[in-house]
């Protein structure tokens, strides 16, 4: 009602604004800018109400509790959060994407398609590479036939392929539902390190907290989480030699010119609502980049969520063992 009446935001107190925006979708908030010019300016710019609008939605939709990067508004940061999805163009054709490409299903019947299953695992990876700095990605397993079917969740570059799994040739790091973990082709259980690798099944939330530094000035690593608690170990990530420059290694939604209504609705709502991003995001990418990926076996439904640069509120960090640099390991072959 407040939106329909064109009430000025300045007339509303902070608590009421928080309630108002926590009940709006990203698409509704984008449409609200059309009510009057004052709303348009406040909603789409880095104005004093930017945090009320998009910070509330970032907290509600993605569990973001940190401060945004200093060089972007909350509006721009929300677009970054919403931009990660499974890439429709590079997925295996038997994997079905839904929920704006956030949910991947393999071998499960739906109202649109019959299940399709063939021999071997099927690959799907994100439309964008992991951003430099800290990132937390999590998948929720809505359905899985059996934890022993070796469903994989992990990282790999453009060479990641169903036939090899998480291998040295694709700089792969993968955690499997049967309770195994392979780092660049080597099973961590063969490294003489006592690491407990938990299995996971229907209802599990499995996550990767990643620090990625393409410049190699600091150590890149991945830490693993199960249902909000850190598990396994801290694994150093290898930065390969053929990286693009940090300024071009990640594609994100661009800042839109003021007053561009058509581009706003096409790009902002698409990024915030659909998460489809660029169709060619991975086509020209360097193999030095890493992508979040799934290796899907038999029946599995998994939904992706990107939480920004910090862990969701209430997650438990543990002081676990850190493995040696994987480049010092003897490659044990493909999994």
Residue 181's H or E segment, with its range, is strand 180-183
| pLDDT of the chain, 335 residues: tens digit per residue | 454 444 555 555 656 666 766 677 777 777 766 766 666 666 655 456 666 677 778 888 887 766 666 677 787 888 888 889 999 999 999 999 999 899 999 987 654 555 556 667 899 999 999 999 999 999 999 988 865 668 999 999 988 888 778 988 899 999 999 999 999 988 887 766 678 899 999 999 999 999 999 888 888 999 999 999 999 999 999 988 654 333 333 333 332 233 333 343 344 334 444 433 333 333 334 557 999 999 998 889 999 999 888 898 899 999 888 887 777 765 444 33
Structure tokens at 123: 């690959």
- Full strand arrangement of the beta sheet holding 152-156: 122-125, 291-296, 152-156, 173-176, 180-183, 186-187
Cβ-based burial of 154 (10 A; exposed 0-12, middle 13-18, buried ≥19): buried
Please indicate, yes or no, whether the overall pTM of this predicted structure exceeds 0.85.
Answer: no
How far is it, in rounded angstroms, from Cα 313 to Cα 310? 9
Question: What does the buried/exposed string (b/e) look like for 50-65 if buried means 16 or more CB atoms within 10 Å of the residue's CB?
Answer: bbbbbbbbbeeebbbe
The answer to whether the beta carbons of residues 243 and 331 sit under 8 Å apart is: no
Q: In sequence order, what are the residues at sequence separation of 6 or more whose Cβ sits closer than 8 angstroms to the Cβ of residue 80?
A: 72, 131, 252, 253, 308
The Cβ of residue 117 has, within 10 Å, a number of other Cβ atoms equal to 14
């Amino acid at each position: 009602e407040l939106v329909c009446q064109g009430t000025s935001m300045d007339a509303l107190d902070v608590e009421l604004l928080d309630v108002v925006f926590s009940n709006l979708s990203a698409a509704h908030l984008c449409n609200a800018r059309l009510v009057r010019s004052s709303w348009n300016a406040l909603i789409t710019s880095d104005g004093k109400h930017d945090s009320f609008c998009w910070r509330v939605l970032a907290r509600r939709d993605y569990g973001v509790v940190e401060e945004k990067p200093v060089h972007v508004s909350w509006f721009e940061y929300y677009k970054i959060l919403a931009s990660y999805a499974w890439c429709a163009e590079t997925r295996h054709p038997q994997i079905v994407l839904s929920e704006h490409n956030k949910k991947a299903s393999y071998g499960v019947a739906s109202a649109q398609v019959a299940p399709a299953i063939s021999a071997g695992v099927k690959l799907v990876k994100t439309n964008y590479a992991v951003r430099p700095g800290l990132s937390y990605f999590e998948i929720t397993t809505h359905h899985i036939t059996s934890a022993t079917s070796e469903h994989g969740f992990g990282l790999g570059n453009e060479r990641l392929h169903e036939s090899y799994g998480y291998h040295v040739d694709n700089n792969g790091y993968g955690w499997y539902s049967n309770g195994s973990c392979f780092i660049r082709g080597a099973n961590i259980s063969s490294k003489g390190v006592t690491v407990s690798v938990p299995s996971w099944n229907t209802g599990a939330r499995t996550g990767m907290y990643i620090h990625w530094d393409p410049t190699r000035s600091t150590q890149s690593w991945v830490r693993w989480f199960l249902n909000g608690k850190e598990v396994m170990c801290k694994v150093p990530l290898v930065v390969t030699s053929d990286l693009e420059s940090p300024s071009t290694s990640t594609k994100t939604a661009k800042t839109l010119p003021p007053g561009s209504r058509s581009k706003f609705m096409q790009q902002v709502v698409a990024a915030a609502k659909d998460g489809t991003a660029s169709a060619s995001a991975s086509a020209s990418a360097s193999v030095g980049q890493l992508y979040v990926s799934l290796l899907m076996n038999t029946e599995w439904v998994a939904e992706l969520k990107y939480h920004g640069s910090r862990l969701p509120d209430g997650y438990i960090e543990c002081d676990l063992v850190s493995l040696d640099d994987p480049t010092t390991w003897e490659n044990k072959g493909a999994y």
